[in-house]
Amino acid sequence: MAMRFSENADRMDVRYVAGLARIALSDAEAARLQGQLDDILAFVGELKKLDVSGVEVTDVATEAQNAWRADVPIAGLEREATLANAPLARHGQFVVPKVIE
Amino acid sequence: MSADLHDLGFLEVAEALTQKRASSEELTMALLARSEELESKLNSLTWFNREAVLAEARAADAARAAGDNRPYLGVPIAIKDLLNVKGQPCTAGSRILKGYVAPYDATVIARLRAAGCVFVSRTNTDEFAMGGSTETSAYGTTRNPWDTDRVPGGSSGGSAAAVAARLAPAALASDTGGSIRQPAAFCGVTGLKPTYGRVSRYGCTAFASSLDQIGPIARSVEDATAVYQVIAGLDPHDSTTAARPVDDCLPNVRAARDLKGLKLGLPKEYFVDGLHPEVEQLTRAAVAQCRALGAEIVDVELPHSKYGIACYYVLAPAEASANLARYDGVRYGFRAEAEDLQEMYEQTRAQGFGAEVKRRVILGTYVLSSGFHDAYYLRAQKVRTLIRRDFDRVFARCDAILGPVTPSPAFRVGEKTADPVQMYLGDIFTANVNLAGICGLSVPCGFTTGGLPAGLHIIGPAFADARILQIGAAYQHATEWHKQQPKI
Amino acid sequence: MNDFIASIGLEVHVQLKTRTKLFCAFPAHEEGDPNVAVCPVCLGLPGAMPVMNGEAIRQTVKTGLMIGSRIALRSTFDRKNYFYPDMPKNFQISQQAAPLCLGGAVEIDVGGQPKTIRVNHIHQEEDAAKITHLENSSEIDFNRASTPLMELVTEPDMASPDEAMAFLIALKEMLIYAGISDCNLELGQVRCDVNSSVRPAGTDLLGVKCEIKNMNTFKGIHRALTYELARQVEVLRSGGMLVQETRRWDDEAGVTLPMRSKEYAHDYRYFPEPDLPPVVLDAATVEAWRAELPELPAVKRARFIRDYGLPEYDVGVLTADQALAEFFEAAAQQSKNCKAVSNWVMGELLRALGEQGLGIADAKITPRALAALIALVDAKTINMPAAKEVFQVLFEKGGDPAAVVKEKGLAQVSDAGAIDGFAERAIAANEKVAAEFRGGKETALMFLVGQVMKLSRGKANPQLAAEALRRKLRG
Ligand SMILES: [Mg+2]
Ligand SMILES: [Zn+2]
């Protein structure tokens, strides 16, 4: 099961992608991840060898369709329960540090 | 009698309670005592319902005394720390959910609760179910009861180890790429990954929503069937559950004695270089046993299975990158101190997530990102179709497929943590089943010379869960592997 | 501006009028205390899953049917990924690959110039929570999270702020008419992203597009567009280059300003929502929904002109409110005098409703009674002042006009003998005026008619009275 990976696999811009995912990385972490992710990308890059032209995608895995709900309201969570896990709450609202646009 | 109570399986406990040979309180006390004795060696539980569990057990005993005769009233069960139980912590093995208390019941929990079960403990898991060894949990590595230097498998390693070590008669677990079947195989217990859409995922902390499925880990196929019967079926809270009825298959499973009239496929792709020779030999012996029980064994091909892991490691991280975006420190869970919102997001997630989760979230973000989406994500969706079609072709002529669950027996703690790809390859026989949305069962099929369990994989078409349970039950009726106990 | 052509496209987000949210059974449009209308789903708790509100699908499809969209028989949902604290899951469930409605168009009219504004598609998505920015922090209320929205995306077919305004007004009218949304702008039920570009006259290629985000008043959109188009022209005239960017409207300063955003802000990483099965519609369902549609205001207006011979002004007033139009039509169908029905509805009925702050449903008068009342006037059974008196009774108490006339003794006196008697008494009492008429002063007759009316206590048929007076005076 030893895998050989192609030399010309994609290299990921780890810092950019981590930014998209909102994860701060230390330099050491970024370097370690770069190597591991390069390996993984080379591995999953094996998919590129398959001819998939004309193959439809599997987008939704269930056989179910529609599964609609009637438009009838029911009671929600108590506000105490809603806010119980909040790291910071004030005036019945969730509070976050200031947003810099 | 109480010294042996922890040895009883799920249905044996139910019977002992019904026949009033034991009380739920006694049973729970026995499990509590055993957990306290063994957990320092195993670390299979993240939380034990110490304060409330005895009260719940006593309430169940009182209800039974008052004439309540629900068959599973007072039966203790362990729950993977990924499933929400109202009022209990739910950490998903992550620091980011430390201290989080679930305000609602998962549907499977509500159904077990309605059946009278008592939620005795929460079992350790790889962080957000991402891992094959239960080494990525923020709450420490779980050990394999057969050899505590080895991993129990993952991500449901806590559930498998706890059931194997007799800390609970059965446990709920979840399987996204093999996370029920692989630890069941490593720990010598029985694990069912039901067909996608058969069991509600509502209240199961999502990893990869198109692949996740909740199922039981138990000491026998009969026990697994009993739990499966309670949790399966259409759920208005999970739109992906199927509207098909769930037949009561427990009587047939209990009566299963042979495999006459069944045609079972043996995929040549599942017996390749790299398959551990002892695992291969144990699997082939199990196949021979099935033949002896009357099954016709035929060679089949699953030509795209070799792409399964690559496909899985595109699709699962992609879905996970979105599912885990909600852990941001705003509404619940861990929040890092920060001056502004962006910093709070980035630090909360940097400090709250472990290395494996970060790796997969970043990978998943990448394969969906502009410029790479088509080359990775879209392509993997098409490969998924090819993998499904492989199974469709085989199931057109076979009732089920047999094979190994894992390419090797349980490996040593730390052996694969530095090499993610090697770790990912552990899912090679299991992930395809999730990609195809079909059902798979792992039953113990013997031990290596080193005393490590191996599992026989019984794969069935979509909604043939009852059929693979019957096959597994017939096999277990003819064998003793599932009755072996680890000496810890 | 004449040497430049503007192209404006709108992305209109409309809150649908459902009782519950899009993906959970908790009340939508909740006002009041924050975070009281939430559940595990719209709070994005671990393990929570969306369940589709079928009513939202129905309303979005009906909107598509109203504007002539092609309805997708298989439609799917996608996750749109971006981090913002008003989005509980940090992704929005929306539709990208296969939206519910494709194509369509809305007819507008600016200064008598009809124009067709094409619609690219309509998709279904969930609303975000409400966020209040304070100096050092922000507060979040999730009551609004997951309220059903439909997003209607136009082609860049509007060439002026007036056209954009006309489009929004026409759309709003349609949606209110069909009960799809209340379109209450104050409550933020309609919000727009406004895309605009300019290009030199005589060229075909669209200019560089700027997007103004999150506009919630039509007047603001008009002002912002007026400013923005002038800004873009000014940049180009002075030899500058426009960059594609997102801007925001500062209403107080009356300017648009660029929004600072990180370079990766727009990588939404769409992928299919695994927790929602596809929406699969069959033709029969779509046709059943089509049958529920009301007649569109524009179509109704044309029909009222054609079928009832009404002037455009009347039609405008009558069709502004669907219930009013229905009332008119029911009365007109039972009357031989459609214009009179229109006059009564626009005049007395709207006045009476307005005075008491009532809706048409509160009025006790039925369309049949109004038609009967008009018939009494036309038959000269009662005169106009009496008719208004009867109307007031019918409006407040209901009933049959003939009965009211009888009860109140309001029937006109048309008996020749009686009128002759009144005429003779009027002439005798006003010899001087009678002499003036005989002397050729035609207007003097009106005074004498008035006297006859007075003597008859308003019941004399005024035309018969005038005839009798002429006969007697000339006689
Ligand atoms: Mg939108
Ligand atoms: Zn909700």
CA of C269 to the centre of ligand 1 (A): 14
Strands (E), C40-112: 70-71, 74-75, 78-81, 91-94, 101-102, 105-110
Claim to verify: residue C339 and residue C461 sit in the same structural domain: no
Token digits of residue C21: 């949210």
CB contact set of B15 (below 8 Å; sequence gap of 6+): B21
Q: How far is the CA of B336 from the centre of ligand 2 (A)?
A: 27
Residues 6+ apart with CB under 8 A from C15: C28, C29, C127, C147, C148, C149, C181, C187, C188, C189, C190
Number of CB atoms found within 10 A of residue C420's CB? 16
- Tell me phi and psi for residue C191, to 5 degrees: -135, 140
**pLDDT digit string (tens) for A17-75?**
999 999 999 999 999 999 999 999 999 999 999 999 999 999 888 888 888 999 999 88
CA quadruple C163, C169, C170, C176: dihedral, nearest 10? 170
Least CB–CB distance from C267: residue in A20, A59, A98? A20
Instruction: Report the CATH number that the domain containing residue A19 is assigned in CATH.
Output: 1.10.20
Closest by Cβ to C19, choosing from A72, A75, A101: A72
* Single-letter residue type at C271: F
pLDDT at residue number B103: 96
pLDDT at B441 over 60: yes
3-state secondary structure B401-438: EEEECCCCCCCECCCCCCCHHHHHHHHCCCHHHHHHCC
Using the beta-carbon criterion (under 8 Å), do B369 and A60 form an inter-chain contact?
Answer: no
Same structural domain for residues C156 and C49? yes
**Chains with 3 or more CB pairs under 8 A to chain A:** B, C
Nearest CA in chain C to A76: C39
Give dist(CA A34, CA A11) in Å, integer: 8
Count Cα atoms within 13 angstroms, Cβ side, for C208.
13
Tokens for B427?
């899912």
- Quote the ligand 2 centre to B211 CA distance (angstroms): 24
One digit per residue, pLDDT tens: chain C, 475 residues?
679 999 999 999 999 999 999 999 988 877 779 999 899 999 999 999 999 999 999 999 999 999 999 999 999 999 999 999 999 999 999 999 999 999 999 999 898 899 999 999 999 999 999 999 999 999 999 999 999 999 999 999 999 999 999 999 999 999 998 999 999 998 999 999 999 999 999 998 999 999 999 999 999 999 999 999 999 999 999 999 999 989 999 999 999 999 866 444 679 999 999 999 999 999 999 999 999 998 888 889 999 999 999 998 999 899 888 889 999 999 999 999 999 999 999 999 999 999 988 888 888 999 999 999 999 989 888 888 889 989 999 999 999 998 888 887 777 777 778 888 888 899 998 989 888 988 888 888 889 999 888 888 888 888 888 888 988 888 6
Same domain, C468 and C438: yes
- Which residues have C-beta under 5 Å from ligand 1, the single-atom ion? C 151
Verify cis geometry, omega within 30 degrees of 0, for the bond prior to B155.
yes
> What per-residue confidence (pLDDT) applies to B59?
97
Q: Are B439 and B433 in contact (CB under 8 A)?
A: yes
The three-state secondary structure class of A41 is helix
Cβ distance B313 to B323 under 8 Å? Answer: no
Relative to beta strand B118-123, strand B76-80 is: parallel
Domain around C340: 297-408
User: Which of B104, B365, B370 is opposite residue C40, by nearest beta carbon?
Assistant: B104
Determine the distance separating the centroid of ligand 1 and the alpha carbon of B332, expressed in angstroms: 26
pLDDT of residue A8: 59
Q: What is the pLDDT of residue B414?
A: 96
Domain stop point among C289, C313, C331:
C289
C118 phi, psi to nearest 5 deg: -80, 145
Q: How confident is the model at residue A78 (pLDDT cuts 50, 70, 90)?
A: confident
Cα gap A23→A43, rounded to integer Å: 24
Examine residue A26 and state whether it is found in any structural domain, yes or no.
Answer: yes
pLDDT at residue B52 tops 90? no
Lowest-pLDDT choice from B11-15, B274-278, B311-315: B274-278
Q: Are residues C421 and C380 in the same domain?
A: no
CATH number of the structural domain B5-302+392-483: 3.90.1300.10
Residue pair C13/C192 in contact by the 8 Å Cβ criterion? yes
Q: Which chain B residues have a beta carbon less than 8 Å from that of C89?
A: 322, 325-326
Would residue A20 count as lying in a domain? yes
Residue pair B368/B375 in contact by the 8 Å Cβ criterion: no
| Count of helices and strands (H, E) across chain B | 16, 11
Indicate the residue among C249, C264, C289 that finishes a domain.
C289
Tell me if A17 is assigned to some domain.
yes
Domain final residue, candidates C289, C315, C348 = C289
Are residues C333 and C267 both part of a single domain? Answer: no
In the set B44, B179, B321, B442, the catalytic residue is: B179
* Total Cβ atoms within 10 A of residue B196: 26
pLDDT digits (tens, 9 = 90+) for B223-250: 999 999 999 999 999 999 999 999 999 9
Q: What chain B residue is nearest to A5 in terms of C-alpha separation?
A: B421
DSSP notation for C27-45:
BSS--SSTTSS--TTTTT-
B179 given a catalytic annotation? yes
**Under 8 Å between Cβ of C130 and C86:** yes
- What letter represents residue B22's amino acid? A
For C25, the closest of A73, A96, A97 (CB atoms) is: A73
C125 with C151, same domain: the answer is yes
| B260 tagged catalytic | no
For residues C141 and C181, membership in a common domain is answered with yes
C44 CA from centroid of ligand 2 (Å): 9
Based on the fold, state whether residues C346 and C226 are members of the same structural domain: no
Contact status of A18 with chain C (Cβ, < 8 Å): no
Concerning whether B155 is annotated as a catalytic residue, the answer is yes
- The CA distance from A19 to the nearest CA of chain C, in Å, is 8
CB pairs under 8 A between B and C: 96
Give the Å distances, CA to CA, from B164 to A34, B189, B414.
38, 6, 22
A43 and B347 within 8 Å at the Cβ level: the answer is no
Which residue carries 């309001």 as its tokens? C410
- Residue A93 with chain B: CB contacts under 8 Å: none
Query: Which of C254, C230, C229, C258 is CA-nearest to residue C243?
Result: C258
Based on the structure, what is the number of domains in chain C? 3
Residues C273 and C396 reside in one and the same domain: no
Q: Three-state SS for C371?
A: helix
pLDDT at A7: 54
pLDDT of A2 above 70: no
Cβ(B443)–Cβ(B456) under 8 Å?
yes
Do residues C272 and C305 share a domain? Answer: no
CB C212 within 8 A of CB C256: yes
Of the residues C26, C269, C270, C273, the best mutation for testing chain B's interface (the one with the most B CB atoms within 10 Å of its CB) is C269
Is C36 within 8 Å of A73 when comparing Cβ atoms?
no
Facing A43 at nearest CB: one of B310, B325, B355: B310
pLDDT above 80 (res B3): no
Q: Which residue has the higher pLDDT, C402 or A88?
A: A88
Domain span including residue A32: 7-48
Nearest in space to C364 (alpha carbons), one of C351, C353, C375, C373:
C353
- pTM for the full model? 0.89
Quote the ipTM score. 0.95
- Structure letter (DSSP) for residue C25: S
- Average the pLDDT over each of B112-116, B152-156, B223-227, C200-204 and give the range with the smallest value: C200-204
